[in-house]
């Protein structure tokens, strides 16, 4: 592995990005093209778009496929009716929220499209794919004595989008917020024992099952 290549590659990527997002260019940029959401909850696909400044936007929508020959607005698809909310605008923000996420939602690819009054009259962004996960806690090490260190991890099969804050509960009471998915205790005491669960801020009802932490005496 060569570490010296890192900065060179970064510079190249940066130039490509700033070129693609120039003021007079057409483009759609997503926070990520693979979005990870909690089953049953919602996800926001953060999105911005750009076009030549002389252009007027006439229509904006998200779509999943091209058939029969023109892409149609996702919010008119019976499987998504009432579950998609356009949080963007007709200027530069094309953020989409998909609610009550179901397994079927991961089989589609999502694209933002805008239509203008200009000569080159429409544009669709790249595809965004979706993965769904549940949360579950693992405790490491599995067994601890008073004074030892223990780490609880709130696991998901994909890395949840938009850097959420994690919320921890002990015996069903809110216990702590963490910036990542780990709750570390450097020196456990008997009072730390209990049933733990975790969730993500804004999605509290979709929490993990409870996991017991037991602390043995020294
Ligand atoms: C676009 O709108 C979403 C939803 O309102 C917001 O969270 C996001 O920060 C906005 N993005 C930009 C670049 O303004
Ligand atoms: C959709 O989600 C909302 C809020 O999470 C919930 O109150 C509602 O019952 C859900 N609807 C369905 C049909 O699952």
User: Distance from the CA of 97 to the center of ligand 1, in angstroms?
Assistant: 11
Q: Does position 21 have pLDDT exceeding 80, yes or no?
A: no
User: Distance from the CA of 208 to the center of ligand 1, in angstroms?
Assistant: 28
User: Distance from the CA of 80 to the center of ligand 2, in angstroms?
Assistant: 13
Backbone angle region of 5, left / alpha / beta, with phi > 0 → left and psi within -120 to 50 → alpha: alpha
Strand partners, 56: none
Take atom 14 of ligand 2 and give the residue whose Cα is closest. 100
Q: What percent of the chain has pLDDT over 90?
A: 74
Supply the pLDDT for residue 207.
96
* CA dist 140 → 4, 74, 166, 169, 213 (Å): 36, 43, 18, 17, 10
Q: What percent of the chain has pLDDT over 70?
A: 87
Candidates 76, 69, 57, 60; CA nearest to 111 is 60
Which residues' Cβ are closer than 6 Å to ligand 1? 46, 48, 87-88, 93, 95
Q: How far is CA 37 from the centre of its chain?
A: 6
- From 37, 39, 43, 100, the mutation candidate for ligand 2 (largest count of ligand atoms within 8 A of CB) is 100
- From 30, 46, 88, the mutation candidate for ligand 1 (largest count of ligand atoms within 8 A of CB) is 46
Q: Does position 145 have pLDDT exceeding 60, yes or no?
A: yes
**Buried b vs exposed e over 49-87: b needs ≥16 C-beta within 10 Å?**
bbbeeebebeebbbbbeeeeeebeebbeeeebeebbebe
User: Distance from the CA of 89 to the center of ligand 1, in angstroms?
Assistant: 9
**38-97 pLDDT, tens per residue?**
999 999 999 999 998 888 999 999 999 776 677 889 999 999 999 999 999 999 999 999
**147-194 pLDDT, tens per residue?**
999 999 999 999 998 899 999 999 999 999 999 999 999 999 999 999
Q: Is the pTM of this model over 0.85?
A: no
Degrees (nearest 5) of the Cα angle 49, 128, 53?
A: 10
CB atoms within 10 A of CB 48: 18
Supply the pLDDT for residue 68.
62
Residue 1 pLDDT level (bands cut at 50, 70, 90): very low
- Mean pLDDT of the chain, nearest integer: 88
Supply the pLDDT for residue 12.
40
Supply the pLDDT for residue 18.
41
E strand segments, the chain: 27-30, 34-38, 43-45, 47-50, 57-63, 84-86, 96-98, 111-116, 122-124, 129-133, 136-140, 144-145, 150-155, 166-170, 173-178, 182-185, 194-200, 211-213, 215-216
Supply the pLDDT for residue 121.
82
Supply the pLDDT for residue 25.
84
């Amino acid at each position: 592995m060569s570490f010296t290549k890192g900065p060179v590659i970064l510079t190249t990527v940066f130039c490509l990005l700033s070129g693609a997002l120039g003021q007079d260019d057409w483009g759609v940029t997503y926070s990520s093209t693979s979005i990870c959401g909690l089953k049953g909850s919602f996800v926001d696909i953060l999105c911005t778009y750009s076009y030549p400044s002389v252009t007027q936007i006439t229509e904006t929508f998200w779509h999943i496929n091209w058939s029969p020959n023109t892409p149609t607005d996702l919010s008119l698809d019976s499987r998504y009716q009432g579950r998609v909310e356009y949080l963007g605008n007709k200027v530069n923000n094309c953020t989409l929220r998909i609610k009550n996420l179901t397994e079927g939602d991961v089989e589609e690819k999502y694209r933002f499209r805008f239509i203008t009054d200009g000569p080159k009259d429409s544009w669709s962004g790249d595809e965004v794919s979706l993965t769904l996960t549940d949360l579950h806690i693992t405790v490491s090490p599995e067994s601890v004595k008073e004074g030892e260190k223990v780490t609880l991890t709130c696991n998901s099969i994909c890395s949840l989008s938009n850097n959420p804050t994690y919320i921890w509960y002990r015996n069903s009471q809110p216990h702590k917020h963490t910036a990542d998915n780990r709750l570390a205790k450097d020196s456990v005491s008997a009072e730390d024992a209990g049933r733990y669960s975790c969730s993500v801020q804004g999605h509290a009802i979709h929490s993990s099952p409870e996991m017991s932490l037991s602390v043995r005496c020294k």
